[in-house]
Amino acid sequence: MLHHLPFYLLLIVFIMLLVMLAKRINVAYPIILVLGGLAISLIPAMPVVEINHELIFFVFLPPLLYEAAWQTSWKEFWRFRRIISSFAFLIVILTSLVVAWVASSFIPGFSLALGFLLGGIVSPPDAVSASAIMKSVKVPKALEAIIEGESLLNDASSLIVFRFALVAVETGSFVFRDAAFSFFWVILAGIAIGLAVGFLFYLLHRWLPTDVNIDLVFTLVAPYAMYLAAESLHVSGVLAVVSGGLFLSTHQHRIMNSSSRLRVTSVWSALGFVLNGLVFMLIGLALPSIANGLGDVSMNEAIGYGVLITGVLIVGRLLSAYGAIGFTLFISRYIRTAGAPRNWKAPFIFGWSGMRGVVSLAAALSIPAVLTGTTIPFPQRNLILFITFIVILLTLIVQGLTMPWFIKVLRLEDPDHHPAYEEERKMISQRLASNSLSYMREHYADELTAQPALQKISQIWESKKEFTGNEQLNVVCRNVYLEVINKQRDWLHEWNKDLKTNEEIIRGQLMQLDLEEEKLKLS
Contact between 415 and 341 under an 8 Å Cβ cutoff? The reply is yes
Rounded Cα distance, 153 and 214, in Å: 29
Rounded Cα distance, 260 and 66, in Å: 17
Task: Give the chain's end-to-end CA distance (angstroms, integer).
Answer: 49
From the CA atom positions of the chain, what is the Rg in Å?
A: 25
User: Which of 278, 394, 289 lies closest to 37 in space, CA to CA?
Assistant: 278
- The predicted model scores a pTM of 0.78
Name the residue type at position 478.
R
Rounded Cα distance, 227 and 208, in Å: 23
Question: What's the CATH number for 2-410?
Answer: 1.20.1530.20
Residues of the chain above pLDDT 90, percent:
17
- Band the pLDDT of 462: cuts 50, 70, 90: low
Every domain of the chain and the residues it spans: 2-410, 421-522
Rounded Cα distance, 356 and 31, in Å: 11
The pLDDT tens digits of the residues spanning 171-208 come to: 766 666 666 777 788 889 999 999 999 999 999 999 99
Give buried/exposed letters for 403-421 (b at 16+ CB in 10 A, else e).
bbebbeeeebeebeebeee
The pLDDT tens digits of the residues spanning 33-92 come to: 888 888 888 877 776 666 777 777 888 889 988 988 888 877 778 878 878 888 878 888
Tell me how far the alpha carbon of residue 444 is from its chain's centroid.
44
SS3 370: strand
Q: What is the pLDDT of residue 420?
A: 61
Rounded Cα distance, 283 and 401, in Å: 18
Looking at 107-175, list the stretches that DSSP marks H as alpha helix, in order from N- to C-terminal side: 112-122, 127-136, 141-171
Dihedral Cα 412, 413, 415, 417, nearest 10 deg: 140
Dihedral Cα 397, 398, 402, 403, nearest 10 deg: -80
Q: What is the pLDDT of residue 470?
A: 47
Q: 381-394 vs 358-365: helix axis angle to the nearest 10?
A: 170
Q: What is the pLDDT of residue 321?
A: 83
User: Which of 516, 438, 443, 503 lies closest to 73 in space, CA to CA?
Assistant: 503
Q: Which positions ≥6 away from 15 have C-beta within 8 Å? A: 33, 36, 274, 277, 278, 281
Contact between 64 and 275 under an 8 Å Cβ cutoff? The reply is yes
Q: What is the pLDDT of residue 497?
A: 77
SS3 469: coil
Residue 468: is its pLDDT beyond 50?
no
Range from 132-136, 364-368, 398-402 that averages highest in pLDDT: 398-402
SS3 85: helix
Contact between 455 and 448 under an 8 Å Cβ cutoff? The reply is yes
Query: Which DSSP string corresponds to 36-92?
Result: HHHHHHTSTTPPPP---HHHIIIIIHHHHHHHHHHHS-HHHHHHTHHHHHIIIIIHH
Higher per-residue pLDDT: 467 or 26: 26
Give how far Cα 247 sits from Cα of 70, 141, 156, 199, 235, Å.
Answer: 9, 22, 18, 8, 19
Rounded Cα distance, 349 and 302, in Å: 29
The pLDDT tens digits of the residues spanning 331-382 come to: 656 666 555 555 677 788 888 888 888 788 888 888 887 777 777 888 888 8
Contact between 341 and 325 under an 8 Å Cβ cutoff? The reply is yes
